[in-house]
Structure 1
Amino acid sequence: MVENSQITYEQVEQKRREFAAALRQFTQEKGQYHQRASELPAAKLEGAEILPNRLALLDKIAPGGVIGEIGVDRGDFSLELLERCKPSQLHLFDIDISRLVNPRIQAELASNEGRVKTHIGDSSTNMRKMPDSYFDVVYVDGDHRYEGVVKDIEAALPKIKPEGVLVFNDYTVWSAVSMYHCGVAKAVHELCLAQPWKFRYLALQSMMYNDVMLVRE
């Protein structure tokens, strides 16, 4: 427990128990609350590997490609993409880049090299403006609502090279931190079931906000 906290662990637990009780009653009355991901056939997982974290996943990406990152926040992971993957171009998509404060990324943006570029506004709208078969990697970490993930997937698919990959952050159905829905897993599974995409890597995270890389079959 944190000293001088205005709320105790037990108070939080009481709220959790109340939520759990309400959820049980809702589901008993035939309500559907969670956005479940459909089960995948074994063929969609064949050859997939588990990695310890998402930095290990980045180390699997061939250097020198063109990368798009949807959802940038502070730019700290953008720097990991830049340093570990050494892309020829790094395109950063975000509704608002006022939070992008990483000094190294800011310096790249201010330089004349033009290796890092920002696309401000709705990510799916801006992604559709990119050339087809342009990206080697699209890293999706934007709107985590199911509808938002689907929009980003639909916009990104024609922009990825035939040998390119899709990577999704927060591959789950529920956010333990925000106690809210996360539509990433549902959208990812639907993509794999509808189109020739399969799992290549699953990168673990300590709160199970895992990353998953998809490749074309």
Structure 2
Amino acid sequence: MHLVPNNRKQILPFLPQNGRVIEIGVAKGEFSHEILLQNNPKELHLIDPWEFQQRDDYSTDANNVEDNEQEQRFQDVQKRFQSMINAGRVHMHRDYSTNVADQFEDKSCDWIFIDGLHSYEGVKADLEAFHMKIKDDGLILGHDFTNHAEARRMKFGVVEAVNEFVEKYNYQFVLMTWENYPTYVLSRTPDSPVVQHLLGSCFMTASSAINLPDFPDKMKFEHRTVFMNDQARAIPTFTLKDDD
């Protein structure tokens, strides 16, 4: 895996263009807009229930707003992308992700972006339901790969779920962005032209990159928070696992 200073918006142009893309967890549609602008997909499928959820593992998430706000978000997203919806380029699925997974054929999507429920069970369910929907050389991206104090307060289980998934299904980490709320990229074919283009483009546009070939097999990840002048910065820290 490579740790790169690019942010999630900056890697969008380096992903497969003019493809079929799924975004799980849309909220206000801000990142959806960036996908359309920076990646130019032929089809973008937006999946979100846009409803308040009364569950312990989502109670502290900032996007779990009341139903009236959820409805407003849905209407705003629909209005924002109406012309592309009419053209068949954007497809909105107002439902829970695992309910609509069967609407997509296996190996039919170029890449997916998972940013829905951030609990261990939620991330695990999305990965399990959608990983077969991408092509053999497709990519899985996900947001908020972090375990810093604020993430733990919000009951995030992204790190645990993704690490477990990678081991179980023989995926490999391609890269992780250096952000307070990082994005990860997974692939089954790390030597494919798709992955090499992504990495090469990141290397050419970034000032540096850190290679971590032993993650997650022999290394563990901790996001440590540093405070200075009323600002917080999460520092990615990788250490060797203890031998059992």
- Decide: shared fold, TM above 0.5: yes
After TM superposition, the structure 1 = structure 2 runs for residues 94-133 of structure 1, keeping only pairs within 5 Å, are 94-96=48-50, 98=71, 99-100=73-74, 101-102=76-77, 104-109=80-85, 111=86, 113-133=87-107
Shift of 1:49: 4.5
Shift of 1:130: 1.2
Shift of 1:129: 2.3
Pick the aligned partner of 2:177 from 196, 200, 203. 203
Shift of 1:180: 1.9
State which drifts further: 180-189 or 162-171: 180-189
- Contact 1:88/1:115 (8 A) holds in 2: yes
With structure 1 as the length reference, what TM-score do the two structures score? 0.71
Pick the aligned partner of 1:66 from 13, 20, 23. 20
Letter in 2 for 1:199: F
Letter in 1 for 2:158: V
CA distance in 2, matches of 1:121, 1:82: 21
The answer for the alignment partner of 1:89 in structure 2 is: 43
Shift of 1:215: 1.0
Shift of 1:57: 1.8
Shift of 1:178: 8.1
Letter in 1 for 2:187: V
Letter in 1 for 2:110: D
With structure 2 as the length reference, what TM-score do the two structures score? 0.64
- Contact 2:8/2:177 (8 A) holds in 1: yes
Runs of 4+ in 1 over 6 A off after TM superposition: none
State which drifts further: 48-57 or 175-184: 175-184
Letter in 2 for 1:108: M
Letter in 2 for 1:167: L
Shift of 1:59: 2.1
> How many equivalent pairs are there?
167
Q: Is the counterpart of residue 187 in structure 1 residue 161 in structure 2?
A: yes
CA distance in 2, matches of 1:57, 1:106: 26
After TM superposition, the structure 1 = structure 2 runs for residues 166-177 of structure 1, keeping only pairs within 5 Å, are 166-174=140-148, 176=150
Q: Which runs of 5+ in 1 are unaligned?
A: 1-44
Q: Which runs of 5+ in 2 are unaligned?
A: 51-69, 190-244
Q: Is the counterpart of residue 137 in structure 1 residue 91 in structure 2?
A: no
- Contact 2:24/2:47 (8 A) holds in 1: yes
